[in-house]
Structures are given as C-alpha cells and as structure tokens.
Amino acid sequence: MSAFADVLRKICAICGAAALSFIAIGVYAEADEFTTLKGHGGPVMALAVSPEGQVATGSFDNAVGLWNKRVPQWLEAHEAAVTALAFADAERLVTAGDDFALYLWSQGSHTGELIGRHLGKIRALAVTPDGDTLVSASWDGEIGLWPLAGGSEQRIKVGSGINDVAVGPGGAVYAATMNGQILVYEDAASAPRRLVDQGFGINQLVLGPDGDWLAYGAVDGATRVVDSQSGDPVADFTLERRPILAMAHHQETGRLAVGDGQGYIMMVDTETWRISADFRATREGPVWALDFAPDGQTIWAAGLDDLAYGWPVALIGETEAQMAGNRGFLKDPSTMPNGERQFMRKCSICHALGPGESRKAGPSLYGVFGRPAGTLAGYRYSEVLDGSDIIWREATIDALFDLGPDHYIPGSKMPMQRITDPQDRFDLIAFLKRATEVEKVTK
C-alpha cells in the first residue's frame, strides 16, 4: 500500500489536494486489477492466454490449470512437469512437458487426446499462422510438426537440443538451439539457414508480427533483436542479468516483455526500440513464464511460486516485487537442522508432510513409514509402482537416495537425484520420521 500512497502523494503535489479523491478512485481501481491464480502444488512453469483472455498455467505438479477468472479446471494427463502450452484456437489447448508427451484438450473436456511423443523433454510449442499445424521443440534434437486437422506428423532433425521455436508468416520455422544458434527451416525437407551463432544457448524467441524482426534471449543474458532474414543487428538490450528465461510480445501495443533468472521483467517498446520499464518482479528466484492479456493491459508472470500473477501494465515499476519466490530450499541453511535442510533441498517441492489432499507432484509423505509404495489413495502413480513390493522404511528410503530413484525404482516419476553422504541420509530419515508421524489418538 505504501507504494500506491507514494504515487498518490506525487500526483497530488502536482494536481492539488482537491484531486485526491478522484485520483485515488482511479489508482486503486487499477490496483484491484492485480490478481493471483492460486491452486497449483508446485512452481508454475508455463503460461498461455487464449484470444478470449482465458489463462492456462502449467506446473511442476504435472497439472494444467485452465482458469475461469480465479477458478481452475484441472487438466491432468502428464506424468512430469508441464513446461509448454499453446492455444491452437479459442477452443483448443495443447500441453507438453518433461514426460515427452503432447496432449490436445478441447474446451469443457477433462480428457486430453495424446498427439504424440518426443524422445526428450519438450521445451516449447508454437502454432502455424493458418492454425493447421502444431510445432514442438524438444531436447531430443528434433522439431515436431503435428497436423491439428488430420494427417501425418513430420520431424525435423536438428541435432542440438531445441529450447524454443517460432513460425513466420510464410510458415518458416525458427529454432533456438542449446548450442547458441538460430536456424531457419523454410520447410521440413530443406537444409536450414543459420541466422545467428552467438555462442551460448538461446532460450527464447519472439518473431515480429510481420516477420521482419526476431528477438532472442540467451543463457548468457544476451537480449537482442535481429533482422529475421539477414540476421543483421536491430537492437541490443543486454543487461548484467542472466539467463533470459521468458519472452512475450503484444502486437497492438508493441510491447516486448523479457523475464530473467534474477527476477526482473523488462518492457521494450518495439516501435522505438527503447526500454520503457524495467522492474524487479520477484523477491527471490527467476521469472520463468510470461504472456500478455489480449488487450495488452495485463502481463501474466510466473516463477518459483505455486501461483500465476496478473500485473496491470500501468502499475509496472510503481509497486514492490509481488512474487515471493520463497521456496524452502532458498532459506538460509543455518536456520534449520540438517535433516530438514535435506528435505527442503531434495523433497519439499514435490511432497507435503501433512495429511489431506495435496496438489504437489508427489504423494504426501504423511504416515509414509510402513506404507507399501504406490498405495496412497487418490494419487496417480506410475505403473512401475503399481503393485510394487517396496515398503517405505529406514532401509528403503536410505537406498532410494543412495542409489537414486532412476536406479532404485527405474521408470517412476521421481526425478534423478542422490544424497551421497550417509550422514545426510541418516539426518533426512530422522527428520521424516518425526515430521510424518501419524498422530496417536488417545481416548
């Protein structure tokens, strides 16, 4: 509130105190437009806004939220984090993620249609201007071309992992690679044209509405605009922040939004090629995803929080950072015992400790000791744990983190990670025994 009060005081000093009530109504009406979408059980990693303004969110909790104002419809088919979203049109949403799978969802349906799979994590989606083809970018080194109205899929073998794709007005596909190149494919059968070779992995692409310019953001913080045909420099907005993780463009207002790993959102005016705003959006952590509302007056942003934030563009730079990014693993290690610290680092983003339902990616650990693996009611386990003979106790939890989930229970949803120090594993298990103990009911 103090930030808004400061704005009012500055305006009133110019306009006179008589204007206070009128101005207050206007500013606080704008302030009311700031909103959050709450309900996910893990960081929101992807955003998309439909032509009608409906927001879709993809999360580390493996779910997609399709929001009617602040009420979500949950779309659940993925078996790993959802990292890419694209509206094919107002009625259809495509989702993809770390399970290598792509799903097509129709408005009102709770069941997704499996479009196909890559052999690696899918990082980005785009739809061709005619709306007929979905384009996917994967770390398996291939671009997928998926017909949305019938027909056979095609693959473009790039070689290097692909972080993002964009499609030009004529159908040319622009690919941002992990080895720092932007390649242009005029069609699936032709050899690519190398547009940019900047040395560090390129994470984000935005193609201008007429296809005349291309903006890109890279691992080293490079934020540049080039001619989409020649690759000649147009503008350079590189700051001392890295990596660039998110970009979004709004055609009518000419705004280009750029989010980075240090929690800033920069706004660029693409008419003048000048920075119009640059502000810290999150107190800790990165800005992972951005998209504009159809009218361009709201920018949706997401990071380490389990929320998506709708930011009135008119208030950008006038408020303090709203995104908290206060995950447990970011806390000062000296403030907690070692067992809790291991839980925060290795387990907290996926698992809750208490009873009741949780939207986190993994099942609750409440009462885990003595529980057969794959048996918590209401959680959708991978097939490998369905009917498993593992009983969770000190020895099996120790083995899980000693060997790593990919070796102890290969094929499960658990991400690859190990705790190599025996004392760290001992302390984690001791913490879990205390924190997940089922309360004894005394009569």
Structure confidence by residue, pLDDT tens digits, 101-135 = 999 999 888 899 999 999 999 999 999 999 999 99
- Per-residue pLDDT band for 11 (boundaries 50, 70, 90) equals very low
For residues 89-104, average pLDDT: 96
pLDDT at 306 over 50: yes
Structure confidence by residue, pLDDT tens digits, 278-301 = 999 998 899 999 999 999 999 999
Percentage with pLDDT > 70 across the chain: 89
Structure confidence by residue, pLDDT tens digits, 362-414 = 899 999 999 999 999 888 888 888 878 999 999 999 999 999 988 898 888 78
E-strand stretches of 158-297: 162-167, 173-177, 181-185, 193-197, 202-207, 213-218, 223-227, 233-236, 244-250, 255-260, 264-269, 274-280, 287-292
Residue 415 — left, alpha, or beta (φ > 0 → left; ψ -120 to 50 → alpha)? beta
Q: Which of 252-266, 292-306, 309-323, 367-381 has the lowest mean pLDDT?
A: 309-323
pLDDT score for 417:
84
pLDDT score for 276:
95
- Per-residue pLDDT band for 26 (boundaries 50, 70, 90) equals very low
pLDDT score for 441:
39
pLDDT score for 13:
37
Contacts (Cβ under 8 Å, ≥6 apart) of 165: 124, 125, 126, 135, 136, 137, 143, 173, 174, 175, 176, 205
- Per-residue pLDDT band for 262 (boundaries 50, 70, 90) equals very high
Q: How far apart are CA 87 and CA 345, in angstroms?
A: 34
Contacts (Cβ under 8 Å, ≥6 apart) of 439: none
pLDDT score for 333:
72
pTM of the model: 0.82
Q: How far apart are CA 136 and CA 123, in angstroms?
A: 8
pLDDT score for 435:
93
Q: How far apart are CA 128 and CA 248, in angstroms?
A: 17
Burial class of 368 by CB neighbour count within 10 A (0 to 12, 13 to 18, 19+): buried
Two tokens, residue 313:
């563009």
For residues 143-148, average pLDDT: 97
Q: What is the DSSP letter of 46?
A: E
